[in-house]
Amino acid sequence: MRTVEWHAGKVRMIDQRLLPAEFCQIDLEDVAAVAQAIRDMAVRGAPAIGATAGFGMALAAHTSPADERDALLADLERAANVLLATRPTAVNLAWAVKRTLRRAEAADSADAIRTALLAEAQAIADEDVTINQRLGAFGAALIPDGATILHHCNTGALATVDYGTALGVVRAAHEQGKRVHVLVDETRPRLQGARLTAWELQQAGIPFTLIADNAAGHFMRTGQVDVVLVGADRVAANGDVANKIGTYKLAVVAKENGIPFYPCVPTSTVDLDLPTGDDIPIEERSADEVTGITFHGQRVVPEGVRAANPAFDVTPHRYVTGIVTENGVAYPPLAMTLARMVKESQ
């Protein structure tokens, strides 16, 4: 079952806000609903957001009343702006929107645009699965038998259309018969590790242990971690990596303890137009994600407390051992090797 797909003229997706307590799929009937689902994190994970944006553009084409090509293109530009305004950090969203717009502009009639956009959105989704499987195979070669893998956030099938990026590497290693064990960071404040990664690993029968985010350093210093795997929402041209908040400190502690640190990303997540990670926009989410947490049914934070809630941080490339892509592992100098990996996908 795919995280997001086209179904009976609607965009159908797994509502990840309800997991693991409830598995539910929702059908979205217009581009505003798709944008809201991205903003509210019913769907999340850079590749899944990209595929959702692709289907959102197809949905905008099919729901537009325009009969003429130019009028439909104008409606699609408006839909693109709505989708692009949802979440600024993950580059796959903009990549998918621009890709579908290019396909629309190449079509010569309104009907041809509608057909072309649905085909392009489906291609983005199908390619994502194939890309992740290739990425997983390259990454699995880095994982020794018996390895303990530290993982942050959620990068599995739920974060993609299917299979996963960093968790796709874990999955591929497991499918090869390697005995792997995963230390799963809770990933506060939205607890994607505790809610989603733990659920996915449980479904796949892969051994894991859930740990508090603040325990990761202890496990690394005491020799209980062999490799750190994470995803990414955007990678700059020099190899700086923007990922879920808390990734930077994991990379620093991993380097201090001589542990390999590998972001695992499709080349569509690499933004060669941004020279460094300092240029990556960091999404600031609602303070309620931090202050609204409860423990044993009681509110944790006193009323009236202010909170900062950046959703991502940037890990400088000097802490990155290598970046796993569908075209192989990019090693330093990352500015050269990443450009080559991206070129191979064009």
Query: Would you give the DSSP letter of residue 302?
Result: P
Q: DSSP assignment, residue 121? A: H
Distance (Å) of CA 123 to CA 28, 37, 341 = 20, 21, 20
Active-site option among 128, 185, 213, 233: 233
Query: What DSSP letter does each residue of 128-160 carry, written as one string?
Result: HHHHHHHHHHHHHTT--TT-EEEE-S--SGGGS
Helices (H), 20-109: 31-39, 46-63, 69-84, 91-105
Let me know if 67 is a catalytic residue. Answer: no
Query: Cβ-count burial of 309 within 10 angstroms (0-12 exposed, 13-18 middle, 19+ buried)?
Result: middle
For 92, the token pair is 């796959």
Q: Which tokens go with 2? A: 């795919």
User: In 3-state terms, what secondary structure has residue 28?
Assistant: strand
Strand-pair partners of 230: 263
In three-state secondary structure terms, 340 is helix
Tell me which residue of 47, 44, 4 sits closest to 269, measured CA to CA: 47
Cβ–Cβ < 8 Å for 324, 167: no
20 three-state secondary structure = coil
Which residues have C-beta within 8 Å of that of residue 22, sequence separation ≥ 6?
none
**Which residues form the catalytic set?**
233
